[in-house]
């Protein structure tokens, strides 16, 4: 099974006359409510520092989006820990409040696509400065909003010593606890049970203090998933939580897989696909900033049994793909493999 890509993709491209988004619009978080699709997307201009912001677009059909305003809705702070960039929003909602996890850095990453893979600009500092500043390590923060246009920054929710991205909160509590997926880059080696960065899961009593121990949830096992990370907020179905994740192969190409987690204990993988369900195919997915090809979902919404998956293409465009949720669940079960990480 492959996700069905919209024939009108990309659904959002860089805006030539807006200097803050004239080079990049990608990796959008998404929400659907009262007949409107919301897409909060990562955006950047062609400035040397490559400062990164969030814009907002809306749609009535999930495919044709219009920008809400000509200015970012969320930008790096003036002098806070996220003053370098804000990236890759994932959106959930509890009550009347949106909760947005986002990656950030203290300093802009620079034009990273011109460097070696997964490298960013780091400021010149002496050895006495903390490593996360000297290496411009990425952390993950939490912001809250009532309207996706004005925000309150709650602060960091990952450990300061870790480069921890792809942080995603489950959209509802499970047995009184909040759950979070995360991908700490440094947790590799025999003591962690994984040779490459993997997906971990952690719980919290209040969504801010994540003190409970993390469990290794999913690591790369197929040729297309050497390194893995979470993508979109899990979708609840009667069969389990549908979780999309990305796999990065040895040539740095990004593809998308899927698994089904237990409804009552999401640390348990019930089923997991052997094969990917989306890969870079179109020219705009392979000729953006990353020439080797990237499809990177960061938002999904379920409307009338159709799952809309919003993704970044090669770190420069936004696209959408769809599928029937029941068909996806059946494919995950039929295409499954036995994972050594499934807990008994």
What are the chain's domains? 4-334 (2.115.10.20)
Mean pLDDT over 291-295 rounds to 93
pLDDT at 201 over 80: yes
User: pLDDT tens-digit profile of 209-265?
Assistant: 888 889 999 999 999 999 999 999 999 999 999 999 999 999 999 999 999 999 999
Residue with tokens 């759950």: 179
Give me 141's structure tokens: 């923060």
Say if residue 344's pLDDT is above 50.
no
What is the mean predicted confidence (pLDDT) over 281-305?
A: 95
Give the integer Cα–Cα distance in Å for 101 and 85: 13
Percent of the chain with pLDDT over 90: 88
Q: What is the rounded CA–CA span in Å between residue 115 and residue 133?
A: 19
What's the confidence (pLDDT) of residue 226? Answer: 96
- What pLDDT shows up at residue 135? 83
Percent of the chain past pLDDT 70, that is, above it, reads 96
**Separation CA 291–CA 316 (nearest Å):** 11
CB 308 within 8 A of CB 322: yes
* pLDDT at 339 (0 to 100): 55
* β-strands 215-218, 199-204 pairing: antiparallel
Q: Tally DSSP H helices, then E strands, for the chain.
A: 3, 21
- Residue 125 DSSP one-character state: -
The 3-state DSSP class for residue 297 equals strand
Question: CA–CA separation, 140 vs 160, rounded Å?
Answer: 9
Confidence of residue 129 (pLDDT cuts 50, 70, 90): low
Computed over every residue of the chain, the mean pLDDT equals 94
Nearest CA to 34 out of 87, 96, 83 is that of 96
CA distance 228 to 106: 25
Six token digits for residue 251: 């040539």
Query: Structure tokens of 107?
Result: 């300093």
Sheet with 317-324, side-by-side order of all strands: 4-5, 317-324, 306-313, 295-303
- Whole-number Å distance between alpha carbons of 76 and 44: 11
Backbone dihedral angles phi then psi of residue 307, each to the nearest 5 degrees: -95, 120
Q: Show contacts of 234-239: CB within 8 Å, 24+ apart.
A: 234/168, 234/170, 234/171, 234/181, 234/261, 234/266, 235/300, 235/302, 235/307, 235/325, 236/171, 236/172, 236/263, 237/325, 237/326, 237/329, 239/270, 239/329, 239/333
DSSP alpha helix (H) spans, 128-217: 131-134
pLDDT given at position 291: 87
How many angstroms separate the most distant Cα atoms in the chain?
Answer: 56
Please answer whether residues 320 and 63 qualify as being in contact, where contact means their C-beta atoms are separated by less than 8 angstroms: yes
Q: What is the pLDDT of residue 343?
A: 45
């Amino acid at each position: 099974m492959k996700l069905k890509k919209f024939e009108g993709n990309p659904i959002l491209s860089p805006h030539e006359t807006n200097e803050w988004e004239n080079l990049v619009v990608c990796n959008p978080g998404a929400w659907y409510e009262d007949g409107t699709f919301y897409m909060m997307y990562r955006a950047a201009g062609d400035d040397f520092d490559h400062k990164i912001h969030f814009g907002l677009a809306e749609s009535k059909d999930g495919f044709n989006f219009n920008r809400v305003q000509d200015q970012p809705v969320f930008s790096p702070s003036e002098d806070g820990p996220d003053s370098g960039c804000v990236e890759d929003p994932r959106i959930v909602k509890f009550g009347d409040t949106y909760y947005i996890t986002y990656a950030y850095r203290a300093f802009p990453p620079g034009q990273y696509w011109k460097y070696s893979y997964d490298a960013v600009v780091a400021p010149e500092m002496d050895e006495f400065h903390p490593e996360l500043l000297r290496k411009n390590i990425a952390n993950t923060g939490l912001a809250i909003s009532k309207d996706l246009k004005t925000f309150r920054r709650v602060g960091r929710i990952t450990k300061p010593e870790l480069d921890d991205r792809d942080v995603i909160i489950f959209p509802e509590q499970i047995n009184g606890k909040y759950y979070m997926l995360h991908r700490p880059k440094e947790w590799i080696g025999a003591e962690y049970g994984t040779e490459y960065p993997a997906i971990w899961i952690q719980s919290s009593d209040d969504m801010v203090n994540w003190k409970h121990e993390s469990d290794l949830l999913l690591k790369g096992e197929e040729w297309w998933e050497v390194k893995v990370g979470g993508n979109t907020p899990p979708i609840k179905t009667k069969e389990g939580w549908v979780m999309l994740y990305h796999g990065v192969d040895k040539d740095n190409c990004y593809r998308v897989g899927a698994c089904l987690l237990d409804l009552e204990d999401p640390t348990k993988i019930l089923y997991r696909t052997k094969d990917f369900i989306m890969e870079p195919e179109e020219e705009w997915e392979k000729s953006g900033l990353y020439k080797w090809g990237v499809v990177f979902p960061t938002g999904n919404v379920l409307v009338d049994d159709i799952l809309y998956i919003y993704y970044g293409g090669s770190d420069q465009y936004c696209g959408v793909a769809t599928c029937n949720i029941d068909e996806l669940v059946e494919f995950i079960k039929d295409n499954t493999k036995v994972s050594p990480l499934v807990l008994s």
